[in-house]
Structure 1
Amino acid sequence: MFNRFIQKSTDYLILKLLKLDPSNRKITNPEERRKIAYLESWVSIIGNVVLAAIKLILGFVMNSISLIADAVHTASDVLTSAVVLLGFKFSAAPPDEKHPYGHGRIEFLASLLIALMLIFVGFEFGKSSYERFLANEKVAGSILVAVFMLASAVFKEWMSRFSIELGNKISAGALIADAWHHRTDAIASVLVAVAIIFSKYGYYRIDAVFGFLVSALIVYTGGTMAYDSCSKLIGEMWEEEMVRKVKEAALSFPGVIDVHKVFIHDYGAYKEISLHVVMDSTLNFYEAHELSEKIERLIEERIHCRATVHGEPARTV
């Protein structure tokens, strides 16, 4: 039910704010991808600022150190969302003399930076859990504070899944990494609520034990994302599905016998494709050149990638 709500609310925001078709599950158009990333960033920034302000006000009204500390943690998530926003903004810069293929890989750098920040948060989680375990002290706070913490966690989990949904839609690791920052905030709120409740029954270390487990998960997730970002910066093997689409587009033209040596170079939103196309040997030079241009245009229309076709005549026996 919660997942369905995530899907519906995400589609509603895409339709109403961006005027895009929410049924499109894989968006490759650079401009549309950028709009989706901006939507995630601004929803995250506004959501975190509002939630942090509410926590801070209630923290002072209720004299709750737990709420005030959690407000600071929530406010810090604004930084990661700002990295996403700036990353996509700079990655949209046009090609220049030094960067003829554009600046799309700044996306991967943004994802790497957020992943490293996530690892740092994980270690901080572990450190605070260790200190709380040694202190073995009662956590101050009322049941009302605990209830608000849990409500806050539900909202942050919505933000996390919202970011994941958009990240999957545009295949952006930076958005997935940002989602995990939302999730760590949700987990932190749950742990504080658990600590408050269990402290009233004398179980002072239970949240510290949970904190250790959660910190390990966060560090592992951040490490995985950092590895994935580095792998993309170095250059990964292209997806078979995209190769299939390229071949399918080329083979849809009469006169094309075979397609091979398909190479895809990933520059974030921009991708460069080169392919060898075996053509009917009866085609003259002009016809072969015209066919190559038609194939390139179709690939660019379907996949939003720049394509370069190398034509080869079919061998005759």
Structure 2
Amino acid sequence: MEKPYSNLKLAERGAIISILAYLLLSSVKLATGHLLHSSSLVADGFNNLSDIISNAALLIGIRLARQPADRDHKFGHWKIEDLASLVTSIIMFYVGFDVLRDTLQKIFSNETVSIDPLGAGVGVVSALVMLGVYFYNLRLAKRAKSKALKAAAKDNLSDVVTSLGTSIAIAASAFNYPIVDKIVAIIITFFILKTAYDIFMESSFSLSDGFDDSLLEDYEKAILKLPKIARVKYQRGRTYGSNIYLDVVLEMNPDLSVYESHAITEEVENLLKEEFGVFDIDVHVEPSSIPEDELIENVEKKLLTYEKRLYAKQEFDTLLADNYTLIDDTGHEHNKAELIEALANDQVQFQNFELESISQKTKLIRYELDGQIHTSLWRRHETWQKIFHQITNKTD
């Protein structure tokens, strides 16, 4: 249980590193962009400024998400991490559209700019810094299993691309191609908007309890490898932050006891936690459908056949339970090993064969044979076995 909380603590480190890197780069880019009158460098600086705000929101969200479950939040506060990502995307949308509007105004006003090629060096240095931050956060996101930090790492990568684009635009403007600066500025704003869109879709998907169906398919395949599970009837997954909560309905053999069924559900829970990292699993068990040959009319025919096979000394070991007991007409008890000597090895004709259903898996059989009344108790535990037989003399 402590692992998810320690993961969030680890993810905080990535958010702090990003904030420090963006704070440094945005200050340098905005100052240099205004000094050199570079709209693309200013746009990239605003991009980094929006990243400071978004990573600050992410940091706050991660810290709030670490709060333990309480009376009003039975499942904890994990979703605050997704909410912080959603707020971040909205901020990025605003900044992206604002920078796009400013760039378009400069294009239509045909404003000329004076570009110093030294500005290209700022973009290259920025790209190298953010490339290092990207790899750091990507590795940290995998360790912490943090979707929010992984999204932040993608944002870092987009900053690498946009910073390189800025350098290209500045260099082109220095060689009297100022339109390249405007075009790259537009491209940069679209990188901001694209990243904002991706973060928005991922966070809103999680907040609305969306879940990846392919994961459910993987879970089902793994579960069905366990014995005595007939079918995975239903699955419902949702995420709270980076933690997966899963509801599973399993169909099992109706002959299993409550203890056996519970033991299997624990196997399922351990499998999903260890192999897939599922945080919380709720397993519900239902009896699987009764096969057609287990319907009462078919069971009667089946048990009649089994009784005849026993008298013919067929399938003796499989049809009699190990704790089988026979009480003969004299009142003496016989066990399974002793019975084989007492059975006739010829065809028998049962009279007045009757079946009484004690439960779904316990049946009482009565019939007459050689002037005596025979009573058998059969029980099904995956297969039918006779556990008791009594012979009494028929009275007029």
Do they fold alike, i.e. is TM over 0.5? yes
**Which residue of the partner structure matches residue 258 of structure 1?**
231
Residues 117/100 of structure 1: CA separation in 2 closer, same or farther (3 Å cut): same
Query: Once the 2 structures are TM-superposed, how far is the Cα of residue 207 of structure 1 from its aligned partner?
Result: 0.8
String of CA shifts for 1:55-100, please: whole Å, max 9, x gaps.
Answer: 68x959xx65669956676455322222222222222222222221
The equivalent position to 2:96 in structure 1, one of 122, 137, 146, is: 122
CA contact (8 A) 1:52 1:75 kept: yes
CA distance in 2, matches of 1:298, 1:195: 53
The equivalent position to 2:196 in structure 1, one of 222, 227, 236, is: 222
**Which residue of the partner structure matches residue 185 of structure 2?**
211
Query: Once the 2 structures are TM-superposed, how far is the Cα of residue 163 of structure 1 from its aligned partner?
Result: 3.8
CA distance in 1, matches of 2:27, 2:179: 29
Asked if residue 282 in structure 1 is aligned to residue 255 in structure 2, the reply is yes
Query: Once the 2 structures are TM-superposed, how far is the Cα of residue 242 of structure 1 from its aligned partner?
Result: 4.2
The structure in which a higher percent of residues are strand is 2
The structure in which a higher percent of residues are helix is 1
The equivalent position to 1:178 in structure 2, one of 120, 128, 152, is: 152
Report the TM-score when normalising by structure 1: 0.73
CA distance in 2, matches of 1:74, 1:214: 11
CA contact (8 A) 2:162 2:188 kept: no
CA distance in 2, matches of 1:180, 1:123: 20
CA distance in 1, matches of 2:99, 2:154: 14
String of CA shifts for 1:175-214, please: whole Å, max 9, x gaps.
Answer: 3443454356545544553444333333222210222233
Aligned residue pairs, count: 285
Query: Once the 2 structures are TM-superposed, how far is the Cα of residue 171 of structure 1 from its aligned partner?
Result: 6.2
CA contact (8 A) 2:22 2:49 kept: yes
Residues 88/197 of structure 1: CA separation in 2 closer, same or farther (3 Å cut): same
Residues 53/210 of structure 1: CA separation in 2 closer, same or farther (3 Å cut): closer
SS in structure 2 opposite 1:262? Answer: strand
Q: Which runs of 5+ in 2 are unaligned?
A: 295-396
Residues 250/196 of structure 1: CA separation in 2 closer, same or farther (3 Å cut): closer
**Which residue of the partner structure matches residue 4 of structure 1?**
none
AA of the residue aligned to 1:139: S
Residues 255/35 of structure 1: CA separation in 2 closer, same or farther (3 Å cut): same
**Which residue of the partner structure matches residue 239 of structure 1?**
213
CA distance in 2, matches of 1:176, 1:242: 22
Q: Which runs of 5+ in 1 are unaligned?
A: 1-28
Residues 44/285 of structure 1: CA separation in 2 closer, same or farther (3 Å cut): same
Residues 257/148 of structure 1: CA separation in 2 closer, same or farther (3 Å cut): same
CA distance in 1, matches of 2:250, 2:169: 65
Larger radius of gyration: 2
Report the TM-score when normalising by structure 2: 0.60
**Which residue of the partner structure matches residue 125 of structure 2?**
151
Asked if residue 138 in structure 1 is aligned to residue 81 in structure 2, the reply is no
SS in structure 1 opposite 2:238? Answer: strand
CA distance in 1, matches of 2:176, 2:150: 38
**Which residue of the partner structure matches residue 269 of structure 1?**
242
SS in structure 2 opposite 1:276? Answer: strand
String of CA shifts for 1:241-278, please: whole Å, max 9, x gaps.
Answer: 344235524642x4333322122132223332222222
SS in structure 2 opposite 1:128? Answer: helix
